[in-house]
A and B are shown apart, each in its own frame.
Chain A
Amino acid sequence: MSFADFMLRVQSVDTRIIRVLVFLAILIPLVNPLPVPMVVTDAPRTLYDFIEQLPPGSVMLVDTNISAAYRPTLYGTAEAVFSHAMRRGLRVVLTSFAPEGPMFNEQMIESVAVPAGKVYGVDYVHLGYRAGGEGAVAEVLRDFHGAYDTDFHGNRVADIPIMQDVRTARDVSLVVIHSAGGYAGGGWVRQAVDPYGLPLAVSVTGVMAPSHYPYTDAGQIIALLSDMKSGAEYETLIQRPGVSLAGMGAQTFAHILIILLIFLSNVSYFANRGRRAKK
């Protein structure tokens, strides 16, 4: 059998075999975690440094605009940043302008704030979901108490200790959004940065990141984190391994496999090019 024939057989392999290979490439590193050396890039470090220099007691507003399908991509970053903020003694106001966001806020509270002994209503508060997209963002920033009568658990916002000091956007020191779609960074730039000059950090999926570069270049977004890699880098910075770091091994192997598949496909293509020309 010639090399060209062999490569043609490789290219004609049943797609189920490819799917099994992909499955194994993801499963094995998840079951046997590999130590993946992480080099921290600028964006996570910028956000880390910004939070480090905020005085304890500063208010950080978080918009968890994650839907369930994007949990692996964005939740790790959200949890890591929340953990860092709790550790630094920041007061965190959790919101969401997506229906599924509050559930992830609650998961973060359970996994980060509760074990750390933080007090609900004093160290952090969960205001819940507010419908209306970018318009709702504008209303909340204009008047928190007007936009939210009660928090996620039904407590009156006016009675919550942390909210005594948080009435408008001017009481917020940092906004961090985790978004898988919709208005994302652009909307928050329009509603928070332009009118109020708030520092804004954005965590989005990898495909959304390029559309936010104009905002980072203009200085309107102080840090743009994208995808699970940024989450893994942030977990490395705060020395709290989480879901993002755990997934990097699988992501690495899957990427390598796809590169290999593309390579094999092209070797077969060029090996059989003469044959196609003859036909």
Chain B
Amino acid sequence: MIYPDKYLSLFTLLAFCAIIYYQIRSQQQGAPLPWMRPISGLSAIDEAVGRATEMGRPIHFSPGVGGIVDEEAGQVLAGLQYLGYLAEQAGKYDIPLIATMRNPIVYTMAEDIAKEGFARAGAPEKYTPETVRFLSDAQMAYAAGVLGIFKREKPAANVMIGAWYAETMMLAEAATNAGAISIGGTARLFQIPYLVVTCDYVLIGEEIFAGGAYLAKDRVQLGSLRGQDICKAICAVVLAAGIVLVTVGATGLRDFIAQYGR
């Protein structure tokens, strides 16, 4: 019934899920809060909100150009967490929020998330149809639209966390030219270097998934982070063991993983 070359993958997935779930339940039942290393990019989000409040200029947000039916769905959804938080802050401090979307499905979700965020702040009337904007389904047309927004609206802060493609550098640099502080984040490997060079703060790889834990100190998210760290440790041990074994000529572990771990 199970594909023979996927036994190990299935076992690993189930094991990781079990570890993460156990840690989540532990936190929900009141286990001590795990220590979290400071991530400057996440701390900077409040700084961005403060800057926008002082300057009276909008915050621009985008969860990237990916969709939710492809492999970047997790990154897009992770990015949308920040939209909810920013919408709440925008409602609380009366800051204009401009959220631009490239994907039409993500746009419909973002509308709801932003409305809920403003409602949580007790300011549902501050959400307008211009808060969340679908610019275009075409990648470069979307990028051109965002460049235009930077030029016209001159945001104080640019939060671009999600799934990013080739327009990353263009948008981040344009935000800098418009005088905005940029906080970027993606797990798309190819775009991380561009964000590092152009943004003031960067969330690299899995750090984008940690937003909920940092911003809201949500116990579910904290437990999830702890579970992820345990899984990473297991991966590191297996990697180290594999490297040592292959170096000394014992390829059993590598062959086993190659055969059953597709």
Contact = CB atoms under 8 A, between A and B. Distances in A.
Interface in B168-192: 189-190
The SS class assigned to the B binding surface is: loop
A2 interface: no
Contacts of B190: 207-208, 211
Contacts of B139: 67, 69
Contacts of A181: 165
Nearest to A15: B177
B240 interface: no
A70 B138 CA distance: 12
A69 B71 contact: no
A70 B140 CA distance: 10
Given A181-B165, A208-B190, A68 B138 contact: yes
Nearest to B165: A181
A201 to B, nearest CB: 21
B71 A183 contact: yes
Contacts of B262: 194
A181 B165 CA distance: 8
For chain B, give the interface size range. 10 to 19
B166 interface: yes
Contacts of B138: 67-68
A219 interface: no
Given A69-B166, A207-B190, A208-B190, A182 B140 contact: no
B255 interface: no
B125 interface: no
Interface residues of A, number: 13
Most buried by B among A69, A70, A133, A208: A69
Contacts of A69: 139-140, 166
A182 B166 contact: no
A205 B190 CA distance: 11
Nearest to B69: A133
Contacts of A207: 190
Interface string A160-187: 0000000000000000000001110000
B167 to A, nearest CB: 9
B70 A182 contact: yes
Interface string B115-141: 000000000000000000000001110
A30 to B, nearest CB: 20
Contacts of B189: 211
B140 A68 contact: yes
A207 B191 CA distance: 9
Most buried by B among A67, A133, A181: A181
Nearest to A209: B190
A133 B140 contact: no
Interface string B37-49: 0000000000000
Interface in B127-164: 138-140
A181 B190 CA distance: 11
Contacts of B70: 133, 182-183
Nearest to A181: B165
A257 B215 CA distance: 43
Interface string A55-89: 00000000000011110000000000000000000
Contacts of A182: 70
A163 B43 CA distance: 59
Given A68-B138, A211-B189, 16 more contacts: A67-B139, A68-B140, A69-B139, A69-B140, A69-B166, A70-B166, A133-B70, A181-B165, A182-B70, A183-B70, A183-B71, A194-B262, A205-B166, A207-B190, A208-B190, A211-B190
Interface of A: 67-70, 133, 181-183, 194, 205, 207-208, 211
Query: What are the nearest 7 A-B pairs in CB distance?
Result: A207-B190, A69-B140, A69-B139, A181-B165, A67-B139, A133-B70, A208-B190
20 contacts: A67-B138, A67-B139, A68-B138, A68-B140, A69-B139, A69-B140, A69-B166, A70-B166, A133-B69, A133-B70, A181-B165, A182-B70, A183-B70, A183-B71, A194-B262, A205-B166, A207-B190, A208-B190, A211-B189, A211-B190
